[in-house]
Structure 1
Amino acid sequence: MKYLFLFGAIIAEVIGAVATRQSNGFTKILPSSIAVLGVVAAYYLLSLSLKNGMSIGVAYGIWAALGITILTVLGVFLFKESLTMVQVMGMLLIVGGVLALELGKVSP
C-alpha cells in the first residue's frame, strides 16, 4: 500500500508541476488552482506512504527520480524543451542512486 500512495504522490506532483508551467506565474486561475491542489495532494499522499512504513529517504528518492524523469519527458513532448545527452546521463545517475538507496537497505 505504501508504494501505491507514493506513486499517487508522484502523479499528483507531476500534475501540479505541469499546471505550474501553464499558470503563467500564477496569473491564470485554473492552472494555478490545479498546481496548488496537486502539490497539497502530493504531500498528503507522501505522508500516507510514510505512515504505512516507507522510510523518508527512500520515498523522497523515488519521488524525486521518477518525478524528474516523468517531467523531463513531458517537457520534451508537451513543451518542446530540449534534452541533451548530459541531461539523460544525469537522470540515469539519479535513478541509479535511488536504486542504490533501495537495494542498500537489504541486509546481507
Structure 2
Amino acid sequence: MSRFSLLAVAILLEVLGTLSLRAMDGLAQPWWLVGVVAGYAGAFVGVARVLQLGMPVGVAYGIWAACGVALASVGGALLFGDRLTPPVVAGIGLVVAGVLVVEFGARTRVSGGG
C-alpha cells in the first residue's frame, strides 16, 4: 500500500472516530465508543506507519488534519445537521490551501549557496 493510500485510510478512520464521538451524545449511547476507539487507534497506527515509510511529518500531519477537519465538517452536516456556514466553508478552504502550500514547499529544493 502506498504512503498516500495508507494516509487516506488513516484519515477515514480518524473521521469515523470523530463522527462516532459525536454520535455518542455524551454517554447516552455508549456503543459508539467502539467506533471512537477503533477509529482513533487505527488512525494513529496508520499515520505512524506513513511516517515510518518516509513521509515528512509536516506533510503527513497537515494532510491528515486538513482532510479530517473537512470530512468531519461535511459528515457532521450530513449526519447530524451541523451547519456549514460560509465562514466555516471558507475556513475549510484555507486549511486545505495551507496544507497544499506545505506539501509543495516540502517538494521544493532550496540550493545552499555560499
Scaled to the shorter chain, the TM-score interval is over 0.9
Q: Percent identity?
A: 36
TM-score between both structures, scaled by the size of structure 1 = 0.93
Q: Aligned with 1:32: secondary structure?
A: helix
- Residue equivalent to 1:71: 72
- Residue equivalent to 1:107: 109
Which stretch of structure 1 is more off in the superposition, 29-38 or 6-15?
29-38
Amino acid at match of 1:35: V
Which stretch of structure 1 is more off in the superposition, 25-34 or 71-80?
25-34
Q: 1:99, 1:45 → 2: CA distance?
A: 21
Amino acid at match of 1:40: A
* 5+ residue gaps, structure 1: none
CA contact (8 A) 1:20 1:35 kept: yes
| 1:33 Cα deviation from its structure 2 partner | 1.4
- Residue equivalent to 2:32: 31
CA contact (8 A) 1:20 1:26 kept: no
> CA-atom RMSD, angstroms?
1.2
Q: 1:60, 1:3 → 2: CA distance?
A: 12
Q: 1:76, 1:40 → 2: CA distance?
A: 24
Within the alignment, does 1:88 sit opposite 2:81 as a pair? no
| Deviations 1:81-108, CA, capped at 9 Å, x for gaps | 1111111111111001000000012226
Amino acid at match of 2:61: Y
Q: 1:47, 1:12 → 2: CA distance?
A: 13
CA contact (8 A) 1:14 1:71 kept: yes
TM-score between both structures, scaled by the size of structure 2 = 0.88
- Residue equivalent to 1:7: 8
| 1:27 Cα deviation from its structure 2 partner | 4.5
Structure with larger Rg: 2
